[in-house]
Structure 1
């Protein structure tokens, strides 16, 4: 616990700041429906959030942050445009779908 606290302090974070999470649903699209054969979703694109972190847009309609914050999260490829393009169309196991999250934005 002390190590995490020291790391947060050294990164200049306001420890009293409440982290506000946005809903993890992309805008409605024709592809925003569950795969009937339970295949993983695929990455359809990327965008950056208001803090500059990369977010994967998934074929199921959900989104997933893909941060590169070593040593906690090592995804250096998200910083390289060419490597992000290579990931489009690749399978991606959506954690929201695995939890059975259903939304009005997704077909049943």
Structure 2
């Protein structure tokens, strides 16, 4: 019934090939994407959609993850269009390089 918090949570991501909208940074710096919107996963957690085609969970699960702003539609809409450093792009990940 309870979830083992020590057990690794393997997340499945929506990963596509990089988009030309992903701003490539200078050598040695992380690539930069922009927030294009938000969606909910099958468990009701919020996921940010990025211009590079990758996604990133932005959960509100206090006390570990305190992001109450994702629960409010107006606050969620505010960062759309802003820069977001994509961890998948920084790793050079695309659909062919990630284990599923």
TM range (shorter): 0.7 to 0.9
Q: Which consecutive segments of 4 or more residues in structure 1 shift more than 4 A? A: 17-20
Which residue in the other structure is 2:64 paired with? 72
Residue segments in structure 1 that go unaligned for 5+ positions in a row = 1-11
Provide the TM-score with structure 1 as the length reference: 0.68
Provide the TM-score with structure 2 as the length reference: 0.73
Aligned-CA RMSD value: 2.7
Is 1:22 paired with 2:2?
A: no
For the pair shown, the structure with the greater C-alpha radius of gyration is 1
Is 1:32 paired with 2:24?
A: no
Is 1:85 paired with 2:77?
A: yes
Q: Distance in 2 between matches of 1:21 and 1:98?
A: 18
* Residues matched between the structures, number: 90
Using the TM superposition, give the Cα deviation of residue 13 of structure 1 relative to its aligned residue in structure 2, in angstroms. 2.9
Structure showing the higher helix proportion among its residues:
1
Residue segments in structure 2 that go unaligned for 5+ positions in a row = none
Question: What does 1:39-58 align with in structure 2 at a 5 Å threshold?
Answer: 40-58=32-50
